[in-house]
Chains A and B, each alone.
Chain A
Amino acid sequence: MSHGVGDVGKLPVRKFDALVVGAGGSGMRASLQLAEAGLSVAVLTKVFPTRSHTVAAQGGIGASLGNMSEDHWLWHMYDTIKGSDWLGDQDAIEYMCRTAPEVVYELEHFGMPFDRNADGSIYQRPFGGHSANFGEKPVQRACAAADRTGHAMLHTLYQRNVRARTQFFVEWMALDLIRDADGTVLGVVALEMETGAVMILQAKATMFATGGAGRIFAASTNAFINTGDGLGMAARAGIPLEDMEFWQFHPTGVHGAGVLITEGVRGEGGILLNCNGERFMERYAPNLKDLASRDVVSRSMDQEIKEGRGCGPNKDHVMLKLDHLGPDVILKRLPSIREIALKFANVDCIKEPIPVVPTIHYQMGGIPTNVHGQVVAPSGDDPAAVVGGFYAVGECSCVSVHGANRLGTNSLVDLLVFGRSAGNHVVGLALPGKAHRPLPKDAADRTLARLARLDSATSGESVADVAAALRTTMQAHCGVFRNQELLSEGVRQVMEVEQRVQRTAIGDKSTTFNTARVEALELDNMIETAKATVVSAEARRESRGAQARSDYPDRDDVTWLKHTLWYRDGNRLDYKPVNLKPASVEAFPPKTRTY
């Protein structure tokens, strides 16, 4: 561990054609393309691959297979654009919805244990915001394996990677991105957790698939490891982050525990009730009701609670009723939900409703990319110039298919579609024949300085305390409803927390599996993610999708139909246009969004 600054020559270096950071659904879909094409590829992951948070996805994968009734990818495209509140790029959405059936069939061929219909085809359930014929009526589009779709998918992808002999670096944490003077990405500096060894992993293509950052909020459906590492690393390396103000609150997190109850419950017929036993969604979304888009349902719930119609002694949640579905449907289609409700809410949902609240769930923004997964950033006149050697896929990326609000089931399909396309793009570069670019001398300086500070600090603030302060601030100032006062104060407080992040100290100085060090390094990434979020949100003076401002209640397409780009350097903001032109079909011009 005792490497000085400027010592890149002394750090061990391992070289690969391609490096994938992250072994969730997106990373492993990409690595499969790479390994099967015979590239030397290393996949780094903080946890054993099947422990990545994709494992927790419950409800389904969106694809217009039409197994239950007529469906069309154009309808899926329309729903996604409408769901995104027109902030999604229509060329990317077109590509995703058109390719979705193909990647789902592929996954089935890999061995995915989908539920089946009587005719042997894949079972699909209804989900929020998915409709037939451009919003006419709900459609069953979510391809499901009970309520364990993510688990089934992640294990299937891992298994397929075992077959392809993909090389995994398990319990390795990437710490920083390496770029040369031209800005080309050359790999990462990484920490082997078991030994504490720091190493440079050099590659001709580096792909981030590091997942979400839901842990910057206090109440979250996300795993502890979802700390926005990819975002932090990219931001420190000068790459902008796109649309970070847009965070999805899932309507149904278990009250108090945060654990998710899938929208599939409402897909199967579950309904939300206020303290009067009223099915309030009928008032807010007369057409799709409980299956309206997530931002709409979360806001309606928040409104009910604010107006005193919440349930329980503190009137701070609503009820999700599903007992009317009957034990057969619950045990067959929603077995894990029953388990979760029993364990985390003490209720048997076969008999009683589950107490739920809107809970932070998904980050729509991320590292800006094109449909090949190539990271893009403004350069000169080009708002989307390719950053050489750098790719991003999955929740850490922003391509942007989810815009201001993601539809349920559209993340898993995003992982598959863009994981594969990014993998294919890297394969197309014919990397095995090419040479590695030289590493700059200072490649590891920033990282070694961070590590040295943690090693030498003998007193300071506890990482747990500072992280808790960050979460409390984000929860209070970047919630379901926002306004100028809340956000300006939020920016101020987050910047204060940033000062504290610089002053943390850890008691554990061991090199062997030092989880305190890992958590301190994660905090460096959480703070970047939080800054990007609150600064972008403060600046956007309109309501669109998941960004709901009580002081600017309307969408403003004249001023704000554009993507935010946040730069770490000076907290600077820039904007770029939304792509409203699909490649092969007519555009869907913005219109008022009702469900």
Chain B
Amino acid sequence: MKFRIYRYDPEKDAKPYLQEYDVALDPHDRMLLDALMRVKAVDDTLSFRRSCREGVCGSDAMNINGKNGLACVTNLLELKEPVELRPLPGLPVIRDLIVDMSQFFKQYHSIKPYLVNDERPPEKERLQAPEDREELDGLYECILCACCSTACPSFWWNPDKFVGPAGLLAAYRFIADTRDQAVNERLDNLEDPYRLFRCHTIMNCVDVCPKGLNPTRAIGKIREIMVKRAV
């Protein structure tokens, strides 16, 4: 199978280039990650992150034939050859397909991604109605792969100011949790021309999320609550 892979090692390359590979696959190779391992067996200098190989850890997000996705759950049959692989767009490249995700995590951390509830907890669990718990479905499953934020033009232009789809999805995960008591502070934290309102509903994020999540919907919900709060 033929590949064109983005290569860049700051120690020896003045600038990035695309390297061509043609590797023989095993009949059992199913996903793009399997093929990447074949390439790596031939050329161990090719660098990329991977761990779970089943789409739950969020390590191997990359730009695959122009679209962000996880190599480990991208079926080889879906791919047109030569398969062009690039690092996630918009983040600094450390080496080859490995990007520096600091900015992405900084935005995630900026929304206070933890439950805030200063009441003394009961001896057992806090009760939560099943309907209330269902509000968290489609929110808590995020694997922080950054496919969405690095497909979002607003995040490319303002990675330091716009929280981005992943961070906003997480913000809404806590706003929507009946056990959380910091809804107002959370909204204050987002009420800003950039942090939330840079989203122009372009929906790239929804299109690429490998977990089928919908950050745009979450962003819409936050806006709704803000409007309600204002009146």
Chain A residues in contact with chain B, CB under 8 A? 47-48, 50-53, 55-56, 65, 101, 104-105, 108-111, 113-122, 145, 148, 151-152, 155, 159-160, 162-163, 194, 223-225, 256-257, 259, 336, 339-340, 343-344, 462-464, 506-508, 510-516, 519
One of A119, A152, A225, A513 near B51 (C-beta < 8 A): A225
Is B115 positioned at the interface, with any CB of A under 8 Å from its CB? yes
What chain A residues lie within 8 Å of B198 (beta carbons)?
Answer: none
One of A55, A118, A507 near B56 (C-beta < 8 A): A55
B95, A513: Cβ atoms closer than 8 Å: yes
Chain A residue at minimum C-beta to C-beta distance from B48: A515
Closest 9 CB pairs of A and B: A111-B115, A120-B127, A516-B44, A159-B114, A51-B57, A109-B121, A508-B45, A108-B125, A163-B114
What chain B residues lie within 8 Å of A339 (beta carbons)?
Answer: 55
Given the interface pairs A113-B140, A115-B133, the reply to whether A55 lies near B52 with Cβ below 8 Å is yes
Other A-B contacts than A224-B52, A519-B44, 4 sampled, CB-CB below 8 A, are A51-B58, A109-B117, A510-B9, A513-B95
Interface residues of B in 106-162 (CB under 8 A from A): 109, 112-115, 117, 121, 123-130, 132-133, 136, 140-141, 143-144
Name 25 interchain pairs, CB-CB below 8 A, sorted by A: A47-B57, A50-B58, A51-B57, A55-B57, A56-B54, A110-B114, A111-B114, A111-B179, A113-B140, A120-B127, A120-B130, A121-B125, A148-B141, A163-B112, A339-B55, A344-B30, A462-B44, A463-B44, A464-B40, A507-B43, A510-B45, A512-B10, A514-B47, A515-B48, A516-B44
Is B98 positioned at the interface, with any CB of A under 8 Å from its CB? yes
Is B12 positioned at the interface, with any CB of A under 8 Å from its CB? yes
One of A105, A113, A162, A508 near B136 (C-beta < 8 A): A113
A120, B129: Cβ atoms closer than 8 Å: yes
- Closest CB-CB distance, A226 to chain B, in whole Å? 9
B52, A223: Cβ atoms closer than 8 Å: yes
Residues 39-81 of chain B: 1 if any A CB is under 8 Å from the residue's CB, otherwise 0? 0110111011111111111110000000000000101000000
- Bound complex: CA of A122 vs CA of B73, how far in Å? 31
A162, B109: Cβ atoms closer than 8 Å: yes
What chain A residues lie within 8 Å of B109 (beta carbons)?
Answer: 162
Given the interface pairs A105-B123, A111-B179, A113-B136, the reply to whether A51 lies near B12 with Cβ below 8 Å is no
A114, B125: Cβ atoms closer than 8 Å: yes
Given the interface pairs A55-B57, A120-B129, A223-B57, the reply to whether A513 lies near B114 with Cβ below 8 Å is no
Given the interface pairs A120-B129, A223-B51, A343-B73, the reply to whether A510 lies near B44 with Cβ below 8 Å is no
What chain A residues lie within 8 Å of B15 (beta carbons)?
Answer: none
- Bound complex: CA of A511 vs CA of B30, how far in Å? 32
- Bound complex: CA of A295 vs CA of B119, how far in Å? 44
Given the interface pairs A116-B129, A148-B141, the reply to whether A162 lies near B113 with Cβ below 8 Å is yes
Chain A residue at minimum C-beta to C-beta distance from B141: A148
- Bound complex: CA of A516 vs CA of B44, how far in Å? 6
- Closest CB-CB distance, A157 to chain B, in whole Å? 10
- Closest CB-CB distance, A436 to chain B, in whole Å? 30
Chain B residue at minimum C-beta to C-beta distance from A163: B114
What chain A residues lie within 8 Å of B207 (beta carbons)?
Answer: none
What chain A residues lie within 8 Å of B96 (beta carbons)?
Answer: 513
One of B12, B30, B50, B124 near A510 (C-beta < 8 A): B12
A152, B58: Cβ atoms closer than 8 Å: no
- Bound complex: CA of A463 vs CA of B43, how far in Å? 12
Is B200 positioned at the interface, with any CB of A under 8 Å from its CB? no
Interface size, B (range)? 35 or more
What chain A residues lie within 8 Å of B49 (beta carbons)?
Answer: 47
Chain B residues in contact with chain A, CB under 8 A? 9-12, 28, 30, 40-41, 43-45, 47-59, 73, 75, 94-96, 98, 101, 105, 109, 112-115, 117, 121, 123-130, 132-133, 136, 140-141, 143-144, 174, 177, 179-180
B54, A160: Cβ atoms closer than 8 Å: no
Given the interface pairs A117-B130, A507-B43, the reply to whether A105 lies near B125 with Cβ below 8 Å is yes
- Closest CB-CB distance, A526 to chain B, in whole Å? 16
- Closest CB-CB distance, B50 to chain A, in whole Å? 6
B113, A159: Cβ atoms closer than 8 Å: yes
- Bound complex: CA of A256 vs CA of B26, how far in Å? 12
What chain B residues lie within 8 Å of A116 (beta carbons)?
Answer: 127-130, 132-133
B129, A151: Cβ atoms closer than 8 Å: no
What chain A residues lie within 8 Å of B143 (beta carbons)?
Answer: 50, 55, 151
- Closest CB-CB distance, B126 to chain A, in whole Å? 6
Given the interface pairs A105-B123, A463-B44, the reply to whether A343 lies near B55 with Cβ below 8 Å is yes
Chain A residue at minimum C-beta to C-beta distance from B145: A51
A224, B51: Cβ atoms closer than 8 Å: yes
A151, B56: Cβ atoms closer than 8 Å: yes
Given the interface pairs A55-B57, A194-B94, the reply to whether A118 lies near B130 with Cβ below 8 Å is yes
- Closest CB-CB distance, A249 to chain B, in whole Å? 18
One of B44, B98, B125, B140 near A122 (C-beta < 8 A): B125
- Closest CB-CB distance, B215 to chain A, in whole Å? 16
What chain B residues lie within 8 Å of A51 (beta carbons)?
Answer: 51-52, 57-59
- Bound complex: CA of A148 vs CA of B114, how far in Å? 18
- Closest CB-CB distance, B196 to chain A, in whole Å? 20
B140, A47: Cβ atoms closer than 8 Å: no
What chain B residues lie within 8 Å of A506 (beta carbons)?
Answer: 44
A50, B144: Cβ atoms closer than 8 Å: yes
- Closest CB-CB distance, A42 to chain B, in whole Å? 18
- Bound complex: CA of A244 vs CA of B98, how far in Å? 35
A56, B56: Cβ atoms closer than 8 Å: yes
